[in-house]
Amino acid sequence: MTATTVLEGRLHPITPWRRAWAVTCAIVGFVFRDLPEWFHAAQGWPRWILVLIAVSVSLAGAGYGYTSWRATSYRLTTDALHYRCGLLFQQRRRFELAHLQAADIRRPLLGRLIGVCTLRLSSSGQSSDLAYLGTEQAETLLAALRGRMAADLRTPAAVRGAPSAATVGGQVLLKVAPRDLAVSLLLDAHTILCAAVLVVVGIAPYVVSKEPLALVSVAGVLGPVWRLTGSCWPRWHGWTLTAEPGGFRADFGLFNTQHQTFRHRRTQAVILEQPVLWRRRDWVRIRLAVAGYRQAQLIAPVSTREDAERLIARLYGTDAITALRSVRPVPRRARWVTPFSHALSYFSDASHVSACRGMFLRNVVHLSLADKVQQVVRVQGPWQRRLGLASVELHLAGGPPLTARHRDAAEAAEITVAMRASRFTSPAAPTT
Protein backbone atom coordinates (compact mmCIF):
# COMPACT_ATOMS: atom_id res chain seq x y z
CA MET A 1 0.00 0.00 0.00
CA THR A 2 1.48 3.36 -1.08
CA ALA A 3 1.83 5.95 1.68
CA THR A 4 -0.07 9.20 1.15
CA THR A 5 1.79 12.51 1.44
CA VAL A 6 0.37 14.61 4.27
CA LEU A 7 2.78 17.56 4.29
CA GLU A 8 6.00 18.52 2.50
CA GLY A 9 8.31 21.50 2.28
CA ARG A 10 11.86 22.83 2.54
CA LEU A 11 13.94 24.09 5.43
CA HIS A 12 14.50 27.78 6.06
CA PRO A 13 16.83 29.48 3.50
CA ILE A 14 19.29 30.34 6.28
CA THR A 15 20.02 26.64 6.85
CA PRO A 16 22.89 26.26 4.30
CA TRP A 17 24.75 29.21 5.86
CA ARG A 18 24.35 27.71 9.31
CA ARG A 19 25.98 24.50 8.05
CA ALA A 20 28.82 26.32 6.28
CA TRP A 21 29.90 28.44 9.24
CA ALA A 22 33.07 26.42 9.82
CA VAL A 23 34.19 26.75 6.18
CA THR A 24 33.34 30.45 6.18
CA CYS A 25 35.33 31.07 9.37
CA ALA A 26 38.32 29.17 7.93
CA ILE A 27 38.27 31.24 4.73
CA VAL A 28 37.91 34.53 6.61
CA GLY A 29 40.71 33.55 8.97
CA PHE A 30 42.98 32.65 6.05
CA VAL A 31 42.27 35.93 4.28
CA PHE A 32 42.67 38.18 7.33
CA ARG A 33 45.85 36.40 8.44
CA ASP A 34 47.68 37.77 5.38
CA LEU A 35 45.47 40.83 4.86
CA PRO A 36 48.35 43.37 4.57
CA GLU A 37 50.06 41.25 1.90
CA TRP A 38 46.78 40.82 0.02
CA PHE A 39 46.11 44.55 0.21
CA HIS A 40 49.64 45.44 -0.95
CA ALA A 41 49.44 43.00 -3.88
CA ALA A 42 45.96 44.21 -4.90
CA GLN A 43 47.09 47.84 -5.24
CA GLY A 44 48.76 47.09 -8.56
CA TRP A 45 45.76 45.21 -10.03
CA PRO A 46 43.21 46.84 -12.32
CA ARG A 47 40.02 47.81 -10.57
CA TRP A 48 37.85 45.70 -12.85
CA ILE A 49 39.72 42.55 -11.72
CA LEU A 50 38.96 43.33 -8.08
CA VAL A 51 35.29 43.87 -8.92
CA LEU A 52 35.22 40.64 -10.94
CA ILE A 53 36.74 38.66 -8.03
CA ALA A 54 34.25 40.12 -5.53
CA VAL A 55 31.27 39.41 -7.83
CA SER A 56 32.49 35.87 -8.58
CA VAL A 57 32.94 35.01 -4.90
CA SER A 58 29.52 36.45 -4.05
CA LEU A 59 27.80 34.58 -6.88
CA ALA A 60 29.58 31.34 -5.96
CA GLY A 61 28.50 31.65 -2.36
CA ALA A 62 24.93 32.54 -3.29
CA GLY A 63 24.79 29.69 -5.80
CA TYR A 64 26.03 27.21 -3.24
CA GLY A 65 23.49 28.40 -0.70
CA TYR A 66 20.61 28.25 -3.15
CA THR A 67 21.45 24.81 -4.58
CA SER A 68 22.06 23.42 -1.10
CA TRP A 69 18.71 24.79 0.05
CA ARG A 70 16.96 23.33 -3.01
CA ALA A 71 18.50 19.91 -2.29
CA THR A 72 17.17 19.88 1.29
CA SER A 73 13.52 18.97 1.87
CA TYR A 74 11.18 16.94 4.04
CA ARG A 75 8.01 14.98 3.32
CA LEU A 76 5.53 13.67 5.88
CA THR A 77 3.51 10.64 4.84
CA THR A 78 0.95 8.56 6.69
CA ASP A 79 3.63 6.23 8.08
CA ALA A 80 6.98 8.10 8.10
CA LEU A 81 8.82 11.42 7.86
CA HIS A 82 11.32 11.52 4.97
CA TYR A 83 14.27 13.93 5.01
CA ARG A 84 16.93 14.45 2.32
CA CYS A 85 19.90 16.81 2.12
CA GLY A 86 23.37 17.17 0.58
CA LEU A 87 24.85 18.07 -2.79
CA LEU A 88 27.90 15.87 -3.35
CA PHE A 89 27.16 13.46 -0.53
CA GLN A 90 23.41 13.02 -0.40
CA GLN A 91 21.68 11.79 2.75
CA ARG A 92 18.22 10.35 3.01
CA ARG A 93 16.63 9.65 6.37
CA ARG A 94 13.37 7.98 7.21
CA PHE A 95 11.71 8.36 10.62
CA GLU A 96 9.03 5.73 11.18
CA LEU A 97 6.11 7.33 13.02
CA ALA A 98 5.39 4.06 14.84
CA HIS A 99 8.87 4.21 16.42
CA LEU A 100 9.00 7.96 16.96
CA GLN A 101 9.11 8.68 20.68
CA ALA A 102 8.97 12.47 20.71
CA ALA A 103 8.88 15.50 18.41
CA ASP A 104 9.82 18.79 20.05
CA ILE A 105 10.62 22.37 19.07
CA ARG A 106 13.68 24.15 20.40
CA ARG A 107 14.00 27.92 20.04
CA PRO A 108 17.49 29.31 20.82
CA LEU A 109 17.74 32.98 21.66
CA LEU A 110 19.31 33.99 18.33
CA GLY A 111 16.81 31.82 16.45
CA ARG A 112 13.90 33.56 18.16
CA LEU A 113 15.26 36.93 17.04
CA ILE A 114 15.33 35.91 13.36
CA GLY A 115 12.21 33.73 13.52
CA VAL A 116 13.65 30.22 13.12
CA CYS A 117 13.72 27.14 15.34
CA THR A 118 14.86 23.51 15.44
CA LEU A 119 12.60 20.47 15.29
CA ARG A 120 14.10 17.58 17.31
CA LEU A 121 12.95 14.02 16.61
CA SER A 122 13.73 11.28 19.17
CA SER A 123 13.63 7.61 18.29
CA SER A 124 15.15 4.59 20.08
CA GLY A 125 17.19 6.75 22.43
CA GLN A 126 18.73 8.83 19.60
CA SER A 127 17.85 12.34 18.49
CA SER A 128 18.01 14.06 15.09
CA ASP A 129 17.47 17.73 14.34
CA LEU A 130 15.75 19.47 11.45
CA ALA A 131 17.36 22.90 11.50
CA TYR A 132 16.28 25.43 10.64
CA LEU A 133 12.54 25.77 10.15
CA GLY A 134 10.41 28.86 10.22
CA THR A 135 8.36 29.19 13.40
CA GLU A 136 4.98 28.81 11.70
CA GLN A 137 6.35 26.06 9.46
CA ALA A 138 7.71 24.10 12.45
CA GLU A 139 4.45 24.41 14.39
CA THR A 140 2.46 23.14 11.39
CA LEU A 141 4.79 20.15 10.95
CA LEU A 142 4.79 19.44 14.69
CA ALA A 143 0.99 19.49 14.83
CA ALA A 144 0.83 17.05 11.91
CA LEU A 145 3.43 14.77 13.53
CA ARG A 146 1.64 14.72 16.87
CA GLY A 147 -1.62 14.05 15.14
CA ARG A 148 -0.12 10.97 13.52
CA MET A 149 1.67 9.90 16.71
CA ALA A 150 -1.54 10.15 18.73
CA ALA A 151 -3.25 7.50 16.60
CA ASP A 152 -2.22 4.80 19.09
CA LEU A 153 -3.84 5.99 22.31
CA ARG A 154 -3.97 2.76 24.27
CA THR A 155 -1.94 3.41 27.42
CA PRO A 156 -1.46 1.32 30.55
CA ALA A 157 -3.26 3.95 32.57
CA ALA A 158 -6.27 3.96 30.27
CA VAL A 159 -6.61 0.21 30.60
CA ARG A 160 -6.73 0.57 34.38
CA GLY A 161 -9.35 3.25 34.52
CA ALA A 162 -7.21 6.39 34.43
CA PRO A 163 -8.39 9.39 32.36
CA SER A 164 -8.25 8.59 28.67
CA ALA A 165 -5.42 10.31 26.81
CA ALA A 166 -7.63 10.58 23.76
CA THR A 167 -10.23 12.74 25.48
CA VAL A 168 -8.03 14.87 27.74
CA GLY A 169 -5.71 17.37 26.07
CA GLY A 170 -4.48 20.92 26.56
CA GLN A 171 -4.98 20.78 30.34
CA VAL A 172 -2.17 22.27 32.43
CA LEU A 173 -1.18 19.57 34.91
CA LEU A 174 1.72 21.27 36.66
CA LYS A 175 3.39 24.68 36.61
CA VAL A 176 6.60 25.45 38.51
CA ALA A 177 6.79 28.97 39.95
CA PRO A 178 10.18 30.70 39.40
CA ARG A 179 10.49 31.36 43.14
CA ASP A 180 9.89 27.71 44.03
CA LEU A 181 12.43 26.66 41.42
CA ALA A 182 15.06 29.03 42.84
CA VAL A 183 14.42 27.90 46.43
CA SER A 184 14.55 24.22 45.43
CA LEU A 185 17.92 24.70 43.73
CA LEU A 186 19.32 26.50 46.76
CA LEU A 187 18.11 23.72 49.08
CA ASP A 188 19.51 20.93 46.91
CA ALA A 189 22.50 19.27 48.54
CA HIS A 190 24.13 19.07 45.10
CA THR A 191 24.13 22.89 44.86
CA ILE A 192 25.55 23.22 48.37
CA LEU A 193 28.36 20.76 47.61
CA CYS A 194 29.25 22.60 44.38
CA ALA A 195 29.32 25.92 46.23
CA ALA A 196 31.60 24.36 48.86
CA VAL A 197 33.95 23.14 46.11
CA LEU A 198 34.01 26.65 44.63
CA VAL A 199 34.97 28.13 48.00
CA VAL A 200 37.64 25.54 48.78
CA VAL A 201 39.26 25.34 45.35
CA GLY A 202 38.74 28.92 44.24
CA ILE A 203 38.83 31.23 47.25
CA ALA A 204 40.83 29.29 49.84
CA PRO A 205 44.15 29.66 47.91
CA TYR A 206 43.70 33.44 47.90
CA VAL A 207 42.97 33.52 51.64
CA VAL A 208 46.09 31.48 52.36
CA SER A 209 48.52 33.13 49.94
CA LYS A 210 47.08 36.69 49.80
CA GLU A 211 48.06 36.74 46.12
CA PRO A 212 45.49 38.26 43.72
CA LEU A 213 46.59 35.86 41.00
CA ALA A 214 45.30 33.00 43.12
CA LEU A 215 41.78 34.16 42.25
CA VAL A 216 42.40 32.99 38.69
CA SER A 217 41.58 29.49 39.95
CA VAL A 218 38.02 30.71 40.52
CA ALA A 219 37.55 31.05 36.76
CA GLY A 220 38.48 27.42 36.25
CA VAL A 221 35.91 26.24 38.80
CA LEU A 222 33.15 28.76 38.20
CA GLY A 223 32.26 27.39 34.76
CA PRO A 224 31.54 23.78 35.82
CA VAL A 225 29.79 24.94 39.00
CA TRP A 226 27.52 27.29 37.04
CA ARG A 227 26.74 24.60 34.48
CA LEU A 228 25.76 22.10 37.20
CA THR A 229 23.83 24.49 39.46
CA GLY A 230 23.11 28.09 38.47
CA SER A 231 22.34 27.39 34.82
CA CYS A 232 19.45 25.14 35.87
CA TRP A 233 17.28 28.13 36.78
CA PRO A 234 17.20 29.80 33.31
CA ARG A 235 17.14 26.37 31.64
CA TRP A 236 14.09 25.18 33.64
CA HIS A 237 12.41 28.58 34.05
CA GLY A 238 8.66 28.60 33.37
CA TRP A 239 8.37 24.80 33.47
CA THR A 240 4.83 23.87 32.48
CA LEU A 241 3.50 20.33 32.05
CA THR A 242 0.47 20.02 29.78
CA ALA A 243 -1.70 17.04 28.88
CA GLU A 244 -1.48 16.03 25.24
CA PRO A 245 -3.25 13.30 23.27
CA GLY A 246 -1.23 10.20 24.07
CA GLY A 247 1.12 11.82 26.60
CA PHE A 248 2.51 14.95 28.23
CA ARG A 249 4.25 18.06 26.90
CA ALA A 250 6.80 20.03 28.93
CA ASP A 251 7.50 23.68 27.98
CA PHE A 252 10.44 25.41 29.63
CA GLY A 253 13.38 27.77 29.13
CA LEU A 254 14.04 31.46 29.73
CA PHE A 255 16.44 32.22 26.87
CA ASN A 256 16.34 28.99 24.85
CA THR A 257 12.75 27.78 24.97
CA GLN A 258 12.18 24.04 24.56
CA HIS A 259 9.18 21.78 24.17
CA GLN A 260 9.52 18.12 25.12
CA THR A 261 6.93 15.37 24.62
CA PHE A 262 6.52 12.20 26.67
CA ARG A 263 4.38 9.42 25.22
CA HIS A 264 2.34 7.28 27.61
CA ARG A 265 3.09 3.96 25.97
CA ARG A 266 6.86 4.61 26.00
CA THR A 267 6.93 5.28 29.75
CA GLN A 268 8.53 2.48 31.76
CA ALA A 269 8.68 3.85 35.32
CA VAL A 270 8.31 6.93 37.50
CA ILE A 271 11.19 8.02 39.75
CA LEU A 272 10.59 10.45 42.62
CA GLU A 273 13.66 12.12 44.15
CA GLN A 274 13.61 14.09 47.38
CA PRO A 275 16.78 15.82 48.63
CA VAL A 276 17.08 15.95 52.39
CA LEU A 277 16.38 19.72 52.66
CA TRP A 278 13.18 19.34 50.59
CA ARG A 279 11.49 17.06 53.11
CA ARG A 280 10.15 19.83 55.30
CA ARG A 281 8.25 21.26 52.30
CA ASP A 282 7.50 17.75 50.97
CA TRP A 283 8.81 18.59 47.51
CA VAL A 284 9.91 15.95 44.99
CA ARG A 285 11.59 15.90 41.61
CA ILE A 286 9.84 13.72 39.02
CA ARG A 287 11.66 11.72 36.36
CA LEU A 288 10.35 9.24 33.82
CA ALA A 289 12.17 6.15 32.60
CA VAL A 290 11.46 6.12 28.86
CA ALA A 291 12.02 3.19 26.52
CA GLY A 292 15.28 3.57 24.62
CA TYR A 293 16.93 5.98 27.08
CA ARG A 294 19.53 4.94 29.65
CA GLN A 295 19.01 8.00 31.80
CA ALA A 296 15.65 8.92 33.30
CA GLN A 297 14.10 11.99 31.68
CA LEU A 298 13.14 14.99 33.79
CA ILE A 299 9.40 15.69 33.79
CA ALA A 300 9.22 18.20 36.69
CA PRO A 301 12.25 19.83 38.41
CA VAL A 302 10.23 20.41 41.59
CA SER A 303 6.68 19.51 42.55
CA THR A 304 4.52 18.89 45.58
CA ARG A 305 3.88 15.27 46.45
CA GLU A 306 0.16 15.74 45.74
CA ASP A 307 0.87 16.86 42.15
CA ALA A 308 3.30 13.97 41.72
CA GLU A 309 0.69 11.45 42.87
CA ARG A 310 -1.87 12.92 40.47
CA LEU A 311 0.56 12.44 37.59
CA ILE A 312 1.23 8.86 38.70
CA ALA A 313 -2.49 8.13 38.92
CA ARG A 314 -2.89 9.55 35.42
CA LEU A 315 -0.14 7.28 34.11
CA TYR A 316 -0.72 4.04 36.00
CA GLY A 317 -4.14 4.38 37.64
CA THR A 318 -5.18 5.00 41.24
CA ASP A 319 -3.93 1.59 42.38
CA ALA A 320 -0.39 2.82 41.78
CA ILE A 321 -0.73 5.24 44.70
CA THR A 322 -1.21 2.30 47.06
CA ALA A 323 1.96 0.68 45.74
CA LEU A 324 3.77 4.01 46.08
CA ARG A 325 2.84 4.40 49.75
CA SER A 326 3.29 0.75 50.75
CA VAL A 327 6.40 -0.07 52.78
CA ARG A 328 8.01 -3.46 53.33
CA PRO A 329 11.31 -2.86 55.13
CA VAL A 330 14.37 -5.08 54.88
CA PRO A 331 15.39 -7.49 57.68
CA ARG A 332 17.18 -5.95 60.67
CA ARG A 333 20.40 -7.81 59.87
CA ALA A 334 20.71 -5.74 56.68
CA ARG A 335 22.11 -2.93 58.86
CA TRP A 336 25.45 -4.83 58.80
CA VAL A 337 25.54 -4.32 54.98
CA THR A 338 24.46 -0.66 54.77
CA PRO A 339 23.97 2.00 57.47
CA PHE A 340 20.81 3.19 55.67
CA SER A 341 19.00 -0.14 55.80
CA HIS A 342 15.88 1.27 57.48
CA ALA A 343 15.33 3.50 54.42
CA LEU A 344 15.17 0.52 52.04
CA SER A 345 11.80 -0.86 51.02
CA TYR A 346 10.19 -2.98 48.30
CA PHE A 347 6.58 -3.68 47.38
CA SER A 348 4.92 -5.66 44.60
CA ASP A 349 1.45 -6.83 43.73
CA ALA A 350 -0.25 -8.18 40.63
CA SER A 351 0.05 -4.84 38.78
CA HIS A 352 2.82 -2.69 40.26
CA VAL A 353 6.31 -2.87 41.75
CA SER A 354 8.04 -0.15 43.75
CA ALA A 355 11.31 0.27 45.61
CA CYS A 356 12.64 2.95 47.94
CA ARG A 357 16.24 3.79 48.84
CA GLY A 358 18.39 6.60 50.19
CA MET A 359 18.23 8.58 53.41
CA PHE A 360 20.98 11.13 53.98
CA LEU A 361 21.28 13.21 50.80
CA ARG A 362 18.37 12.06 48.64
CA ASN A 363 15.41 9.73 49.01
CA VAL A 364 14.42 7.92 45.79
CA VAL A 365 11.20 6.02 45.05
CA HIS A 366 11.07 3.91 41.88
CA LEU A 367 7.61 2.79 40.65
CA SER A 368 6.73 0.71 37.59
CA LEU A 369 4.10 -1.60 36.18
CA ALA A 370 4.79 -5.29 36.70
CA ASP A 371 4.27 -6.07 33.01
CA LYS A 372 7.00 -3.58 32.03
CA VAL A 373 9.76 -5.76 33.54
CA GLN A 374 11.87 -7.38 30.84
CA GLN A 375 14.65 -9.09 32.81
CA VAL A 376 15.02 -10.32 36.41
CA VAL A 377 18.50 -10.67 37.94
CA ARG A 378 19.21 -12.00 41.44
CA VAL A 379 22.45 -10.68 42.95
CA GLN A 380 24.09 -12.02 46.12
CA GLY A 381 27.51 -10.86 47.26
CA PRO A 382 29.76 -12.71 49.73
CA TRP A 383 28.68 -10.60 52.71
CA GLN A 384 25.03 -10.98 51.72
CA ARG A 385 25.43 -14.78 51.55
CA ARG A 386 26.84 -14.80 55.05
CA LEU A 387 23.85 -12.80 56.36
CA GLY A 388 21.23 -14.65 54.29
CA LEU A 389 20.39 -11.62 52.11
CA ALA A 390 20.09 -11.00 48.36
CA SER A 391 19.13 -8.23 45.94
CA VAL A 392 16.84 -8.49 42.92
CA GLU A 393 17.26 -6.20 39.89
CA LEU A 394 14.23 -5.68 37.63
CA HIS A 395 15.44 -4.34 34.28
CA LEU A 396 13.14 -2.23 32.12
CA ALA A 397 13.28 -1.14 28.48
CA GLY A 398 14.65 2.26 29.56
CA GLY A 399 16.11 3.98 32.57
CA PRO A 400 17.89 2.44 35.56
CA PRO A 401 16.80 -0.98 36.89
CA LEU A 402 14.31 -1.15 39.75
CA THR A 403 16.23 -2.88 42.56
CA ALA A 404 14.95 -4.61 45.68
CA ARG A 405 18.04 -4.23 47.85
CA HIS A 406 19.11 -6.54 50.69
CA ARG A 407 15.96 -8.63 50.97
CA ASP A 408 15.85 -11.92 52.83
CA ALA A 409 17.30 -14.64 50.59
CA ALA A 410 14.05 -16.65 50.63
CA GLU A 411 12.02 -13.54 49.83
CA ALA A 412 14.42 -12.61 47.01
CA ALA A 413 13.99 -16.11 45.54
CA GLU A 414 10.21 -15.73 45.73
CA ILE A 415 10.37 -12.34 44.01
CA THR A 416 12.56 -13.77 41.24
CA VAL A 417 10.32 -16.77 40.66
CA ALA A 418 7.12 -14.70 40.76
CA MET A 419 8.38 -12.06 38.31
CA ARG A 420 9.78 -14.64 35.89
CA ALA A 421 6.63 -16.73 36.06
CA SER A 422 4.37 -13.77 35.36
CA ARG A 423 6.46 -12.36 32.52
CA PHE A 424 8.54 -15.04 30.83
CA THR A 425 6.99 -18.47 31.32
CA SER A 426 4.66 -19.47 28.51
CA PRO A 427 1.54 -21.38 29.61
CA ALA A 428 2.39 -24.13 27.14
CA ALA A 429 6.01 -24.48 28.22
CA PRO A 430 6.90 -27.61 30.16
CA THR A 431 7.94 -27.20 33.77
CA THR A 432 11.16 -28.60 35.16
E strands in 36-171: 73-77, 80-85, 91-96, 100-107, 116-123, 126-134
Banded pLDDT at 165 (limits 50, 70, 90): very low
Q: Three-class SS of residue 267? A: strand
Could you read off the pLDDT of 316-338 as tens digits, one per residue? 988 899 999 888 899 999 999 88
CA distance 94 to 412: 45
pLDDT at 431: 33
**φ, ψ dihedrals at 416, nearest 5°:** -60, -45
pLDDT at 60: 75
pLDDT at 278: 92
- Count Cβ atoms below 10 Å from residue 214 Cβ, excluding itself: 16
The stretch 406-419 carries a mean pLDDT of 92
- Residue 368's DSSP bridge partners are 269, 353
The stretch 184-188 carries a mean pLDDT of 88
- Count Cβ atoms below 10 Å from residue 28 Cβ, excluding itself: 10
Mean pLDDT over the full length of the chain: 79
The stretch 272-283 carries a mean pLDDT of 92
pLDDT at 393: 94
User: Considering only 35-44, 251-260, 271-280, 343-352, which range has the smallest mean pLDDT?
Assistant: 35-44
pLDDT at 333: 92
pLDDT at 122: 75
Indicate the pairing of strand 73-77 with strand 100-107.
unpaired
The stretch 363-375 carries a mean pLDDT of 91
CA distance 4 to 75: 10
**φ, ψ dihedrals at 431, nearest 5°:** -95, 150
Banded pLDDT at 432 (limits 50, 70, 90): very low
The stretch 279-299 carries a mean pLDDT of 90
Q: With left for phi above 0 and alpha for psi between -120 and 50, is residue 44 left, alpha or beta?
A: alpha
pLDDT at 346: 94
What percentage of the chain reaches a pLDDT higher than 70? 79
Who wins on pLDDT, 376 or 216? 376
Could you read off the pLDDT of 126-157 as tens digits, one per residue? 677 777 888 888 888 888 887 776 654 444 44
Banded pLDDT at 164 (limits 50, 70, 90): very low
Per-residue pLDDT for 376 more than 80? yes
Per-residue pLDDT for 21 more than 80? no
Could you read off the pLDDT of 56-102 as tens digits, one per residue? 877 776 777 677 777 788 888 877 888 887 777 777 888 877 777 77
User: Considering only 142-151, 391-400, 421-430, which range has the smallest mean pLDDT?
Assistant: 421-430
pLDDT at 353: 93
- Residue 347's DSSP bridge partners are 354
Could you read off the pLDDT of 291-309 as tens digits, one per residue? 878 889 899 999 999 999 9
Q: Three-class SS of residue 187? A: coil
User: Considering only 80-84, 284-288, 401-405, which range has the smallest mean pLDDT?
Assistant: 80-84
DSSP tag of 200: I
CA distance 264 to 101: 10
Q: Are 120 and 129 in contact (CB under 8 A)?
A: yes
User: Considering only 93-97, 236-240, 282-286, which range has the smallest mean pLDDT?
Assistant: 93-97
pLDDT at 430: 34
Q: Count the alpha carbons within 13 Å of 151 in the hemisphere toward its beta carbon.
A: 10
Q: Three-class SS of residue 314? A: helix
CA distance 158 to 317: 8
pLDDT at 149: 66
What percentage of the chain reaches a pLDDT higher than 90? 27
0.85 exceeded by pTM: no
pLDDT at 37: 66
By CB atoms closer than 10 A (0-12, 13-18, 19+), residue 260 is buried
Could you read off the pLDDT of 339-357 as tens digits, one per residue? 888 889 999 888 899 999 9
Residue type at position 14? I
pLDDT at 4: 78
Who wins on pLDDT, 280 or 427? 280
